[in-house]
Structure 1
Amino acid sequence: MKVVFNSFGGRYNDNPRAIYEALVARGTEMDAVWLARPDLRADFPAGVQTVETWGPDARAAVESADVIVSNDGISREWDKQPTTTYLQTWHGTPLKRLHRDAVWAPEGRLELVMQDIARWDHLLSPNAASTPHLRSAFGFTGPVHETGYPRNDVLSAPDRDRRRARVRAALGIADHVTAVLYAPTWRDDLVLADDGPAHTFPVDLGDLARGLGPDHVLLVRLHAMVSDRLEVQGTAPLLDVSRHPDISELYLAADVLVTDYSSTMFDFAVTGKPIVHFTYDLEHYRDDLRGFYFDLAEIAPGPLLTTSEQVLTAIAGLGGRPWMPTERYNRFRERFCSLEDGAATERVLQLFFPTDGHPGRPGDTPVPTNDEPRR
């Protein structure tokens, strides 16, 4: 069985990584190949077979695969074989409108995405609330499997405290230091513009980090769409963690999340730790750029703030005492995190890599799709 894995155009992370590592741990016999960016090859463990994204070997790999596991579109020229099963895991619970549903998109971008969607055989959904929006965004009529996201299993794993300690030690964060993870999403009109910056920050990050006060550190995680095109400048207590291989480890290492409209809020909520929203351009993003599937003011697990002073005040208000989730936060988790129970990867393996069935063909699986309501 040949399985090709792809994550964010050549990275070793996210849902494909969780699925791959579970298959390896189970001892599944497979010829596994990862699409890898040459400059990120060092992020792949020794012994992992890779081919360069997007060289001729990559096209040969996907065209000869029995199963393809990807968390994003493979929007290049290649011919999918009738015997290949393409599992699209996607990479986030959608707050912001996607693809066909977005308020704005540059000319030609949608058509390129739709070419790849036509190849998909199955799509994963993190929760029932997301399923109809994923269908609408992609125009996908095939099976959508509500499994939760495999990448989030580590957030509920029995060894999560050990993982947290290891990551913090690697980043040089002492036990008594409060780590604030700032993970904003990207802005389409900047990234996809013909000229100008790929991203702009509403504040000086160095000033924001220093404003947090003693015994704090600001971890800045840029979106993959901009992390290669923008340099995070500043000194301690500021750390640029945009190149850290897997954001799930940063969720464990952090004590509070600051974000805007990013799907990081849905993943981080699994940890039960506080979330603050820095929504300085809310009206523009919601009304002119993307639009939302959900009313952010209604569902947000944390406060919506528009200035850095408000963000600093909110973080300071958390104090050193243990934080207790609010009723609003708990409603958010019930709606969007009910399947993030640490068993999402196993559900995906039961579907697509059964020990006693055909890989990639979940015809008689007991795990339901959205067309088979959970009981």
Structure 2
Amino acid sequence: MTIRSVKGEKIMAFLFASLYNIMKRIYVRIYRILFCMMTKLPPNKNLVVFESFLGKQYSDNPRAIYEYMKEHDMDFTFYWSVDKRNEHLFQGRGLNTVRRLSLRWLLIMPRAKYWITNSRLPLWIPKPKHTTYVQTWHGTPLKKLAADMREVHMPGTTTEKYKRNFTEEAAKWDYLVSPNQYSSEIFRRAFRFNKTMIESGYPRNDYLYYANTTETIKDLKQKYDLPLDKKIVLYAPTWRDNQFHKKGRYKFDNSLDLSKMKEELGSKYILLLRMHYLVAENLNLSDYEGFAYDFSRHEDIRELYLMADVLVTDYSSVFFDYANLHRPIIFYVYDIDEYRDKLRGFYFDIEEQAPGPLVKTTEGVIDEINRAREVDVTTDKIYQDFYQRFCGLESGDAAKQVVDIVFEDN
């Protein structure tokens, strides 16, 4: 291929990319105008739209609230906003679904009385005056959020723009669900939120109380064809702001030596890997068949919590939820200095207050997993202090509290 032809291909690729971006901006502008027009139509006071993780999952706090309302036969029409790439995950459940940002979505979303979601909607979508926007969020914060972040390393934005966009979106929220007083204080400051905070515990954790039985755990293992004679380690790390392919597609550098883990632990344990929803790659675990299982695309982590005898994580908020089960937690924090000092920063000293040991090597993880068989967290003062501070509101009725407040107020 000649230099001239290479240059020609680059020019054509640039022109196509530019044209695509222009068309996308035009589409967004037209769609927003149509959305605003639809908000002028009479609202449907019985219409509730749910969305979880940008329409990628049937999960988390919105799912728990939805299931509570369905179970109690509340007289509403429910829709789930679904990303078109993930529609198959919602099939066969008897759910009313609508493709996110489609023309049909345009007919439903602006007229809905209630929006219930756990992540931000696109900033350019206006909230109708008749709509009650319930933001459940999706975790107790360890790492700095929004306005509290010193610097933002995500692609396609700047620190100033990211903070401004976040607070503009948060201004639309009518209710914000909080799992504890600690989170409430941070949410108000970091999101610049000054409306109604529902400090109820997280609805998604209700499941950890009413479903935590030997029979349920056995049924789940059989459902997912997992061995009944081995203990389960759940590895659920977070994403890194500065590790990405492009905007919206993040990558994860798995530094755990799975070969060594299989060699040392394979006779007694299996490993379930649950990557953050923002991480792009599919894991290739073909070399670890029978030991390591990829559950990254599993719809709801709550089932993985129940099955897991031990949690291995890093700075993900999963450990706040898992602590409800009073089971061992191990923190694999090989890059803690960079993450704490350069990327995000923490709200409290995890090295002093973590409800479990911190390790930086695969060997350390293996040692702590073996030691976990002898650990009784109910007698550990640090663990119990952590539980009281962050899980003290959890009792299995958070969804009820949220529904009672939101739907009785309106």
Same fold per TM (> 0.5)?
yes
| Cα distance in structure 2, aligned partners of 1:160 and 1:6 | 29
**In the alignment, what sits opposite 2:77?**
31
State the AA in 1 paired with 2:334: Y
Q: CA deviation at 1:76?
A: 4.5
SS at match of 1:185: coil
SS at match of 1:353: helix
1:330-374: per-residue Cα shift (whole Å, max 9, x none)?
Answer: 1110110011111111111211134xxx5xx3xxxxxxxxxxxxx
| Cα distance in structure 2, aligned partners of 1:345 and 1:113 | 26
Q: CA deviation at 1:220?
A: 0.3
State whether residues 249 and 278 of structure 2, in contact with CA within 8 Å, keep that contact through their aligned partners in structure 1: no
Q: CA deviation at 1:46?
A: 2.8
Q: CA deviation at 1:57?
A: 2.8
Question: Quick check: 42-51 or 304-313, which moved more?
Answer: 42-51
1:2 aligns with 2:47: yes
1:157 alignment partner, one of 191, 203, 210: 210
Q: CA deviation at 1:15?
A: 0.2
Q: CA deviation at 1:162?
A: 3.1
SS at match of 1:273: coil
SS at match of 2:386: helix
What is the RMSD computed on CA atoms of the aligned residues?
2.0
| Cα distance in structure 2, aligned partners of 1:156 and 1:247 | 15
| Cα distance in structure 2, aligned partners of 1:247 and 1:293 | 24
| Cα distance in structure 1, aligned partners of 2:48 and 2:250 | 38
**In the alignment, what sits opposite 2:352?**
298
2:99 alignment partner, one of 28, 52, 59: 52
| Cα distance in structure 2, aligned partners of 1:46 and 1:269 | 30
**In the alignment, what sits opposite 1:348?**
402
Pick closer, same or farther for the CA change 1:210–1:114 going to 2, 3 Å.
farther
**In the alignment, what sits opposite 1:80?**
127
| Cα distance in structure 1, aligned partners of 2:266 and 2:352 | 31
State the AA in 1 paired with 2:281: R
SS at match of 2:48: strand
State whether residues 52 and 58 of structure 1, in contact with CA within 8 Å, keep that contact through their aligned partners in structure 2: yes
| Cα distance in structure 2, aligned partners of 1:291 and 1:232 | 31
| Cα distance in structure 1, aligned partners of 2:211 and 2:311 | 22
State whether residues 256 and 274 of structure 1, in contact with CA within 8 Å, keep that contact through their aligned partners in structure 2: yes
More helix by share: 2
| Cα distance in structure 1, aligned partners of 2:220 and 2:100 | 28
State the AA in 2 paired with 1:314: E
Q: Kindly name which structure, 1 or 2, has the bigger radius of gyration based on alpha carbons.
A: 2
1:175 alignment partner, one of 228, 233, 257: 228
| Cα distance in structure 2, aligned partners of 1:318 and 1:193 | 39
**In the alignment, what sits opposite 2:185?**
132
| Cα distance in structure 2, aligned partners of 1:83 and 1:299 | 44
**In the alignment, what sits opposite 1:263?**
317
**In the alignment, what sits opposite 1:66?**
113
Percent identity over paired residues:
38
| Cα distance in structure 2, aligned partners of 1:276 and 1:6 | 31
SS at match of 1:154: helix
**In the alignment, what sits opposite 1:143?**
196
Q: CA deviation at 1:50?
A: 0.9
SS at match of 2:370: helix
State whether residues 75 and 112 of structure 1, in contact with CA within 8 Å, keep that contact through their aligned partners in structure 2: no
SS at match of 1:75: coil
State whether residues 255 and 273 of structure 1, in contact with CA within 8 Å, keep that contact through their aligned partners in structure 2: yes
**In the alignment, what sits opposite 1:254?**
308
1:219 aligns with 2:266: no
Pick closer, same or farther for the CA change 1:324–1:298 going to 2, 3 Å.
closer
Q: CA deviation at 1:79?
A: 2.3
Pick closer, same or farther for the CA change 1:19–1:294 going to 2, 3 Å.
same
The 5-angstrom pairing of residues 91-106 of structure 1 reads 91-105=138-152, 106=157
1:239-273: per-residue Cα shift (whole Å, max 9, x none)?
Answer: 00011111001000100000001100000000111
Q: Which runs of 5+ in 1 are unaligned?
A: 362-375
**In the alignment, what sits opposite 2:33?**
none
State whether residues 59 and 78 of structure 1, in contact with CA within 8 Å, keep that contact through their aligned partners in structure 2: no
State the AA in 2 paired with 1:287: D
| Cα distance in structure 2, aligned partners of 1:314 and 1:64 | 53
| Cα distance in structure 2, aligned partners of 1:210 and 1:76 | 49
| Cα distance in structure 1, aligned partners of 2:250 and 2:321 | 28
| Cα distance in structure 2, aligned partners of 1:156 and 1:297 | 28
1:120-170: per-residue Cα shift (whole Å, max 9, x none)?
Answer: 111011001111111111111111111000000011115643332222112
1:193-236: per-residue Cα shift (whole Å, max 9, x none)?
Answer: 5699711112333433443231210100000111x434243422
SS at match of 1:33: strand
Q: Which runs of 5+ in 2 are unaligned?
A: 1-45
1:328 aligns with 2:382: yes
Pick closer, same or farther for the CA change 1:346–1:37 going to 2, 3 Å.
same
| Cα distance in structure 2, aligned partners of 1:198 and 1:130 | 28
| Cα distance in structure 1, aligned partners of 2:323 and 2:93 | 32
State whether residues 67 and 86 of structure 1, in contact with CA within 8 Å, keep that contact through their aligned partners in structure 2: yes
Question: Quick check: 21-30 or 230-239, which moved more?
Answer: 230-239
Q: CA deviation at 1:17?
A: 0.2
State whether residues 3 and 68 of structure 1, in contact with CA within 8 Å, keep that contact through their aligned partners in structure 2: yes
Q: CA deviation at 1:65?
A: 1.0
**In the alignment, what sits opposite 2:58?**
12
| Cα distance in structure 2, aligned partners of 1:296 and 1:83 | 43
SS at match of 1:28: coil
State whether residues 248 and 278 of structure 2, in contact with CA within 8 Å, keep that contact through their aligned partners in structure 1: no
